[in-house]
Amino acid sequence: MASLTRSEAAARGALLEIRSNAVDLDLTGDGKLFRSITKVDFTAVAGGTTFVDVKPEVLLEARLNGRELDVSSLVDGRLPLTGLAADNELVVVADMAYSRESKGLHRYVDPADDRVYVYGAVFLDHAPRIFACFDQPDLKAPFTFDVTVPEDWTVLGTGAATEVSPGRWRVEQAVAQATYLTTVVAGPYASFETVHDGVPLGVHCRRSVAEALETDIQEIFDVTAQCLDEFHRLFGVRYPFGRFDQVFAPEFSYLSLDHPGCVLLKELYLFRTPAPRSEHETRAVVIAHGLSLMWWAGLVTNKWWDDLWLGQAFADYLAHRVPSEVTEFTGPLTTFSARRKGQAYTADQRPSTHPVWIDGADAMSALLDLDRISYFKGSSALRQLAHHIGDDAMREALRIFFARHAYGAATFADFNAAIGEAVGRDMTDWADRWLGTANVTTLAPDFTVADGVITSFAVTQTAPGSHPTLRPHTIDIGLYGDTHETVRVTVDGARTEVPELVGREAPRFLLLNENDLTYAKIRYDDASRRALPEVLPSLAPIDRAMVWAQLLQGVVDGAVPATEHLELVTRMLGYETELSIVIEVLEQARIDVADRLLDPELRPGLLKAVADAARDRLAGVAPGDELGLALMRGLVEFTSDTSELRGWLDGVPLPAGLELDSDLAWRVRYRLAVLGAFTEAEIDQAYEADRSTHTEQFAVKARAAIPTTEAKESAWRTITTDAELSSYRLWATAEGFWQPEQRELTAPYVTRFFAEIADVARLREDKVLDTLVLWLYPRYAADPSTLAAADELFARDDLPLPLRRRGADLTDDLRRAVHARRG
């Protein structure tokens, strides 16, 4: 399909003004296609020529001002419109295909009870898969949806939904909205409702999981209400869209899609079994993220995709800050430092690195650049900005921006102007260096000591030669010794002298970027690195999280041995009380350090050491302490003792008073399957006893993980040839395929990956392909021959852009792993 370019959008935007969109959908058909009738009322420059976006299975009819259009002229999702009048009515009738990949109208059959659910996933360029439209963000207009559904269904959408007759619903969206922010949701959903401060709140899910939602519904309502109040206060504008619905969408390819008044959430955040508090915290962050976008996308929409990052970065920044300030969950900033910020550091050093603000020459390139840099580096930059100019100035800038551009579209330049107005000075240079340049700089202390006293102190800043821009950093410097002192400074350039530290007692441990205020890699002086194992337990949670993220970067860079990192992990398990740190560090230690960066010959022994440390800590955890579940999950991941794992399935009591619920049982089964101690027949039997989306994913992943020639060949054939497979089953199969314990068994598939992936790419849409490559790339085959094959393949310019881009990034990761393993 052709991707809309900025110049095409500008030309169409200058030509047209959309007055209204009316869409009629009939969802009562055969489950493969649905009928879509669209009527668009718009003005234009008389005599002009343009095109409407529509991506049907079959285009049945199109009329412009009563004149029949040639449906065969539809090419690459574009239907030409010629001879425009000053006032126009366009009617398009089409049969559209349901999706299994969250692109357009996704249809899902619940394996638990065979009920059917549909939802519109229209992000970026998928709206034309549901209705004909002028699909660009600045052409906002009111929408009306008339929807025909089975009589036991409920319909929701971006506007008030009313059942006008049995099986016939109308959704009216009176506020002008962009096409990509419009959705319809339909099915026999279970619904929970309340009202807060005059705003009706609804939360919806499949009926088969309604009990799980009911257990947590008050928590969800409380978090939503508390964040809603805080956003009212911050933005100076009340919630602008009437009611606010949140729908847990099955088989959803995104974490959330944040349509005004109707947010879709991944069912990952609907807990069917007891989940640690950290997962409830993550759900609170996701709720706050979606709610903030009611202002950051719905109230003020980006004019073009190059500014899409701004709303998403602000949503991520506020999603971590606001819940920590107004809800029961106080740890989001710590979790961000432990996990998400590190993901930005990794992405920012890959070949595909880009500035926070994205180029967006066309819609697809903008989508590919909307990644961890846009979200997590962008969020980090905005947090640094808040510390740089102060919270009061940041709040004033937000209020200026929303008051000035409400119900319209705006650019980052508009927001930067609001910042400048709030602080009384031009912020262009700051924005250019922080948001307009790529990659990450490194900060390090450079100081001298005499007779136990600091005699000189400076902070050095370096940048890679490929991206040499240095940035201003407002940071805290922590000095730890007999006492603890903190000094806030602003550093800029290659070397910044810090005279206020001269004459102070030399610290036992010195921490640059205490409180994790800025975005930079941090290096430690030799004495501080030696003291780190003893000092780390005494640091504040956010500083422990920041140190762990920096240690991982050190392993990736070859500055910290993987063995040293894992030895620190075993020590950490003896004392750490912050749940998010335990969870994130264990995950990083297994997936990143042990599986990819460690010498494979050392892996079994170090995995056992971590497992032993987790087991020892579990022995002292009291029943009911949430730390027990986090440690138990870690033990399952690290142990290779199949008799221990099998014993838990057979009824051996779990430590810390834990129960073997469905989720934990499937984690054990998956680990046993990896180790060759759980058969396909046992997987099938367990799934039939508890059929659900969640257990289906585990079962699919476990089958692919079985270490037999037959299982691997079956999984590979499914991944590479089954074009009808849903995105969830595809990704789960790919996730289970490669295992570091199975390097010899899967070695032939390393060559097959590079030989076959280009053909596989033709079966999949870009979003699905991008995630598939992430899981299917042979990430554990870290040796020169793999690098040579990868370099040869991804140098080809005939590959689809998502494949070439993701493949080059993963090859860079592999190159770093080879380097780290060599020590």
User: Which pLDDT tens digit goes with each residue over 324-342?
Assistant: 999 999 999 999 999 899 9
User: Which pLDDT tens digit goes with each residue over 436-475?
Assistant: 999 999 999 999 999 999 999 999 999 999 999 999 999 9
Tell me what pLDDT residue 515 has.
97
- Cα–Cα distance measured from residue 367 to residue 405, given in angstroms and rounded to the nearest whole number: 24
User: Which pLDDT tens digit goes with each residue over 414-440?
Assistant: 999 999 999 999 999 999 999 999 999
Three-class SS of 510-522: EEEEECCCCCCEE
178 in the same domain as 63 = yes
- Cα–Cα distance measured from residue 322 to residue 289, given in angstroms and rounded to the nearest whole number: 10
Contact predicate 366/266, CB 8 Å: no
* b (16+ CB within 10 A) / e for 559-583: ebbbbebbebbbebbeebebbbbbb
| Gyration radius (Cα) of the chain, Å | 27
161 in the same domain as 21 = yes
- Cα–Cα distance measured from residue 668 to residue 662, given in angstroms and rounded to the nearest whole number: 10
412 in the same domain as 467 = no
Contact predicate 119/185, CB 8 Å: yes
What's phi and psi for 453, nearest 5 deg? -125, 140
Domain membership of residue 261 (yes or no) is no
- Cα–Cα distance measured from residue 778 to residue 751, given in angstroms and rounded to the nearest whole number: 9
For residue 389, what is the domain's CATH number?
1.10.390.10
Q: Give the domain-ending residue among 400, 415, 435.
A: 435
- pLDDT of 778 > 90? The answer is yes
Other beta carbons less than 10 A from residue 206's beta carbon: 26
379 in the same domain as 320 = yes
Reported pTM:
0.92
Q: What is the mean pLDDT of residues 399-410?
A: 95
C-alpha torsion sign, points 227, 229, 235, 239: positive
Contact predicate 239/201, CB 8 Å: no
Domain membership of residue 637 (yes or no) is no
- pLDDT of 202 > 70? The answer is yes
455 in the same domain as 419 = no
- pLDDT of 209 > 60? The answer is yes
- Cα–Cα distance measured from residue 521 to residue 527, given in angstroms and rounded to the nearest whole number: 18
What's phi and psi for 49, nearest 5 deg? -130, 135
User: Which pLDDT tens digit goes with each residue over 17-49?
Assistant: 999 999 999 999 999 999 999 999 999 999 999
- The dihedral region occupied by 52, where left means phi > 0, alpha psi between -120 and 50, and beta the remainder, is beta
- Cα–Cα distance measured from residue 300 to residue 302, given in angstroms and rounded to the nearest whole number: 7
- pLDDT of 360 > 60? The answer is yes
Tell me what pLDDT residue 322 has.
98
- For the chain, report the end-to-end CA distance as a whole number of angstroms: 46
Other beta carbons less than 10 A from residue 66's beta carbon: 7
Domain membership of residue 639 (yes or no) is no
Q: Which domain holds residue 497?
A: 442-518
pLDDT > 90 in the chain, percent:
91
447 in the same domain as 351 = no
Q: Where are the alpha helices (DSSP H) in 120-258?
A: 210-235
779 in the same domain as 748 = yes
Domain membership of residue 822 (yes or no) is yes
Least confident range from 202-206, 370-374, 675-679, 738-742: namely 370-374
Domain membership of residue 540 (yes or no) is no
446 in the same domain as 431 = no
Least confident range from 264-278, 512-526, 607-621: namely 264-278
Q: What is the mean pLDDT of residues 14-18?
A: 97
- Could you tell me the pLDDT band of residue 801, with boundaries at 50, 70 and 90? confident
Q: Give the domain-ending residue among 188, 205, 221.
A: 188
Least confident range from 363-367, 479-483, 676-680, 755-759: namely 363-367
pLDDT > 70 in the chain, percent:
100
User: Which pLDDT tens digit goes with each residue over 137-194?
Assistant: 999 999 999 999 999 999 999 999 999 999 999 999 988 999 999 999 999 999 999 9
- pLDDT of 1 > 70? The answer is no
- Cα–Cα distance measured from residue 342 to residue 549, given in angstroms and rounded to the nearest whole number: 6
Domain membership of residue 507 (yes or no) is yes
- CA distances, 21 to each of 232, 270, 766 (Å): 30, 34, 28
- pLDDT of 79 > 70? The answer is yes
46 in the same domain as 172 = yes
Q: What is the mean pLDDT of residues 655-665?
A: 95
Contact predicate 775/734, CB 8 Å: yes
40 in the same domain as 171 = yes
In the chain, how many domains are there? 4
For residue 80, what is the domain's CATH number?
2.60.40.1730
Domain membership of residue 702 (yes or no) is no
* b (16+ CB within 10 A) / e for 535-550: bbeebbbbbbbbbbbb
Tell me what pLDDT residue 366 has.
83
Least confident range from 192-196, 685-689, 691-695, 815-819: namely 691-695
Average pLDDT, the chain: 95
The arrangement of strands across the sheet holding 484-491 comes to 484-491, 473-480, 509-514
Q: Give the domain-ending residue among 487, 518, 549.
A: 518
Domain membership of residue 16 (yes or no) is yes
- Cα–Cα distance measured from residue 684 to residue 136, given in angstroms and rounded to the nearest whole number: 46
505 in the same domain as 398 = no
Q: Give the distance between the most distant pair of CA atoms in the chain.
A: 91
Q: Where are the beta strands (DSSP E) in 612-655?
A: none
500 in the same domain as 394 = no
The label of the residue with tokens 């079985």 reads 706
